[in-house]
Amino acid sequence: MKRSELTSSDCPAYYQGYLNTLPPDADLLTMLGRQLGNFPEFIKSIPPDLWSYRYADGKWTLAESLGHVYDTERVFQYRALRFGRKDATPLPGFEQDEWIWASPAGKWSAERHLEEYQAVRQATLSLFRDFSREDLSWKGTASGKPMSLGAIGFIICGHQRHHRNIIRERYLDQ
């Protein structure tokens, strides 16, 4: 599936910013795999003294921001599994700030971050690899809004890219 095949009815407008970080011709499985190849290099490039850096009071550290990426991908994996199994039960949202304050990611080493990211993304790839085109068009409800399974996959990719861009702009280019 290509990102350009998604329509405005595939997900709430809130997610369009994430989708717009991806090229229209992006293929879902290719993008998931490409990010699995290049995001670890990005993680490795982060200077050790910046892992606990906050660009403003009350903002997440760089390490917490990365932990947020993994947590969110796991939430979307779960949504994808439920939607992929044609489960019509509405799924709740999650409170990202509360999750970050309870997460150990802010204390992890770069190696632990790499391990976590690779495990999470490998599971995402494994899950999405077996969805058919018909599956990807199936819609469920999450956070009170309809969204398609295909949109979930692209949101995962766009969300990661969005946070990589924020890390570059607000943490690395200080």
Q: Using only C-alpha atoms, what is the Rg of the chain?
A: 16
Confidence band, pLDDT 50/70/90 cuts, at residue 174: low
**pLDDT tens string 94-143:** 999 999 999 999 999 999 999 999 999 999 999 999 999 999 999 999 99
Mean predicted confidence (pLDDT) in 43-69: 96
Cα 73 from Cα 96, distance rounded (Å): 12
**27 phi/psi in degrees, rounded to 5:** -90, 135
pLDDT digits (tens, 9 = 90+) for 79-91: 999 999 999 999 9
From the list 73, 35, 61, 20, the residue with the least C-alpha distance to 167 is: 61
Mean pLDDT, rounded, of the chain: 96
Q: How many other β-carbons are positioned within 10 Å of the β-carbon of residue 155? A: 27
DSSP count for the chain of H helices, then E strands: 7, 2
Q: Output the pTM of the full model.
A: 0.96
Please state, in angstroms and rounded to a whole number, the distance separating the CA atoms of residues 40 and 63: 14
**Which CATH architecture does the domain made up of 3-172 adopt?**
Up-down Bundle (1.20)
